[in-house]
Amino acid sequence: MEQNPVIQIDQLSKVYTVNEREAGLIAAMRSLVKRKTRDVNAVDAISFTVGEGEIVGFLGPNGAGKTTTLKMLSGLLHPTGGSASVLGYRPWERNRDYLRRMTLVMGQRNQLLWDIPVIDTFELNRAVYRIPEAQYRLAVDELTELLELAPLLQKPTRNLSLGERMKCEIAAALLHRPSVLFLDEPTIGLDVTMQRRIRRFITEYNQHTGATVLLTSHYMADVEALCKRVIVIHHGKMLYDGELTGLADRFAPFKTVEVKLQNGLDGRPLAQYGELMAQTEGRVTLRIPKDDTASVTGRLLAELDVADLTVQDPPIEDVIEHVFSQSPSPLDDPDPQQAQSG
Amino acid sequence: MFAFYPIYRGYFRTSLMMMFQYRIAMLIWLLGGIIEPLMYLVIWRTVSQQQGGSVGGYSTNDFVVYFIAMMMVSHGTFTWIMWEYVYRIRMGQFSVMLLKPIHPIHSDIADNIGYKFLTLTVMGPTVLLLAWFFDASWQPTYWTLAAFVPVLILAFLMRFYWEWSLAMVAFWTLRIDAMNQAYIVITLFFSGKLAPLSLFPQFVQRAADLLPFRWMLSFPVELLLGRVTPRDLLIGIGAQLFWLLAGYLVMQLIYRAGIKRYAAFGN
């Protein structure tokens, strides 16, 4: 789906200068005279391109630099280095036309006014974004239907549950029909049903409007449901940019083999085949180095009474966890070939 | 200019709705705005009575009218933005404002004006009640009343831009309470809030002429009292325009530097 690039960032960096102080009174007094500061590379020369209509998952552990990147792309933060262009605008110049065409949804940030009914925040956004009346009606009707907002619109924000509020937040952020969506943890803290609804909604919005979506989430289910392509960053550096399915090939050195035995386990020493992950009555899950998969499955089939055997990539969550628990520095540079897929 | 009309209407609407939610809090704020000038009124009235009916060219009645007028002008021009900004930045609420395709100052102006209109319902009767209670006598001329309108609007705008600029210090440090306190003390002396400026020593009056504060407060008050000559009126409006323009430029400059520095706290 390589189309017109909507988001282009090149060597984008953000260095925060933080004050550093040891604990204690003496240190506090010393810091009056001489301030110790330390530079933190929140985002370290990352580059990628996102095409029109793509939904890209932006992954990384807490503090990886995802939110900082999204903040730079939505014009909240000035970068320390590098360049970025979204819809042809430099985000941090905060051109009004740019702001009218994009949106940033943060799972923990509120744009809904706390004390007044949701519909009144919508009304305010209509004025601020100068949405024509007819288009506004249409957008409200559509969002109300897709997100099932009808019973919520007349309630003050403070009376909504977290999930209800999130749905309304998303609706408020989309009334002006942005063509670029930055979604930072849009499903955080929501129950599974609500997560699923929001996911479905994002897909529908994307198909309906052709909007480009860059999304972060800690829930791999979100990513698996929405994104063919993922970008992984860690310690501000890019680790991977490519298809979600390629992530396991690239980073997981293991396969998961699940074996069901004819006559139960009978205390047979299965650990010799691989690392025992789980073991229930007659069924066992092993982790096997990727390169040994063929030989080990061969041995299992030959030496045991196997009723069923499946070989799988480890769950994407495990892969990600594995990636992040590796050395703190990036494994290697992202593969430019893979960077263009999606 | 007209393009802003629907946006301001939207802001008014929501800010009024929110204020209705906080009637009691609002009344308490309002009370502060009434009590402070009332206190000075009572003190100066007493002093004047003890001095035989006048101090430094102000009769007892003049003091009463001065501080009632000060109450109105002060209420009309005051802002609370210097307290709000820190909260806004610390809580990351500023990010929400930055994402909107409009300068954040507009919602603040609308919010402020909304509050003023709403509180007029209390302020108006209070002023009349105090005038009756202290037996104030006041004979304005038509031209001072006519001139008062633009002078008050200019005073409001210049005060707004300057205090909005000062509030942005919060981009650099979140500990701005001390600065706010210093600001209050300085304005207390140089704006005529504490006492008519002509009662102060010469050098304070000179300084007050050169600083922006008296053009925000005592100038409109003195105009209402009929103590400003047409010539001084023109000079005063000139000073207001100068400080308004300067405040606007300073605001733009600090804002630009500030958002560059803005760290978008929170998640």
Can you name the residues that pair with A308 across neighbouring β-strands? A260
- Distance CA(A182)–CA(A8), nearest Å, equals 14
Q: What is the pLDDT of residue A265?
A: 66
Q: How much is the pLDDT for A266?
A: 64
- What ipTM does the predicted assembly reach? 0.86
Give the whole-angstrom CA distance, residue A35 versus residue A31: 5
> Which residue(s) pair with A102 in the sheet?
A180
Predicted confidence at residue B215, as pLDDT, reads 97
Tell me whether A123 touches chain B (CB under 8 Å).
Answer: yes
Sign of the Cα pseudo-torsion (A87, A91, A95, A100, in order): positive
A109 and B7: CB-CB below 8 Å?
no
Neighbour-count burial for A143-169, b at 16+ CB within 10 Å, e otherwise:
bbebbebeebbebbbeebeebbbbbbb
CA distance B17 to chain A (A): 7
* Residue A283 pLDDT: 84
pLDDT 10s digit of each residue in chain A, 342 long? 456 899 999 999 999 887 777 778 887 777 777 777 888 889 999 999 999 999 999 998 888 899 999 999 999 999 999 999 999 999 999 999 999 999 999 876 678 988 899 999 999 999 999 999 999 999 999 999 988 899 999 999 999 998 889 899 999 999 999 999 999 988 887 888 888 988 999 999 999 999 999 999 888 888 989 999 999 998 899 989 999 888 877 887 788 888 888 877 666 677 788 888 888 877 888 888 888 888 988 988 888 888 888 888 877 777 877 777 764 544 444 433 333 332
- Rounded CA-CA distance B112/B93 in Å is 18
CA distances from A281 to A263, A264, A269 (A): 10, 6, 14
B52 and chain A: CB distance < 8 Å anywhere? no
- Residue B264 has what pLDDT? 64
Q: How far is Cα B148 from Cα B220, in angstroms, rounded to an integer?
A: 6
Taking the model in full, what pTM does it have? 0.84
Give B6-26 pLDDT, tens digit per residue. Answer: 899 999 999 898 888 888 888
Contacts of A111 in chain B (CB under 8 A): 96, 99
Task: Name residues whose C-beta falls within 8 Å of residue A91's C-beta, 6 or more positions apart in sequence.
Answer: A72, A73, A74, A75, A84, A98
Phi/psi at A7 (5° precision): -115, 125
> Which positions ≥6 away from B105 have C-beta within 8 Å?
B164, B251
Q: Does B252 touch chain A if contact means CB atoms closer than 8 Å?
A: no
- Give the pLDDT score at A329: 46
Collect all residues of chain B within an 8 Å Cβ-Cβ radius of residue A104.
Answer: 99
Phi-psi region of B232 (alpha: psi -120 to 50; beta: other; left: phi over 0): alpha
Question: What is d(CA B244, CA B187) in angstroms, rounded to the nearest whole number?
Answer: 17
Beta bridge partners of A289: A254
pLDDT, one tens digit for every residue, chain B (267 residues):
677 888 999 999 998 988 888 888 888 889 989 999 999 999 999 999 999 999 999 999 999 999 999 999 999 999 999 988 988 888 878 999 999 999 999 999 999 999 998 899 999 999 999 999 999 999 989 999 999 999 999 999 999 999 999 999 999 888 888 899 999 999 999 999 999 999 999 999 999 999 999 999 999 999 999 999 999 999 999 999 999 999 999 999 999 999 988 876 643
Please write the tens of the pLDDT for every residue from A159-209.
999 888 989 999 999 999 999 999 998 888 788 888 898 899 999 999 999
> What pLDDT is attached to residue A339?
35
Q: Does residue A110 belong to the interface with chain B, where contact is any CB pair within 8 Å? A: yes
What whole-number distance in Å separates Cα of residue B211 and Cα of residue B224?
A: 21
B99/A76 CB distance under 8 A: yes
> What pLDDT is stored for residue A323 in this prediction?
78
- Report the 10 Å Cβ neighbour count for B121: 9
A127/B7 touch (CB, cutoff 8 Å), yes or no: yes
Question: Rounded distance, CA A62 to CA A308, Å?
Answer: 39
Phi, psi values for residue A67, rounded to 5°: -65, -40
Compute the nearest-CA separation of A110 from chain B (Å): 8
Give residue B91's pLDDT.
81
Q: Where are the domains of chain B?
A: 3-264
Cα–Cα distance list, B266 to A40, A68, A109, B263 (Å): 16, 11, 9, 9
User: Does the distance separating the beta carbons of A108 and B267 come in below 8 Å?
Assistant: yes
Look at phi and psi of residue A239 and say left if phi exceeds 0, alpha if psi is from -120 to 50, else beta: alpha
pLDDT at residue B109, as a whole number: 93
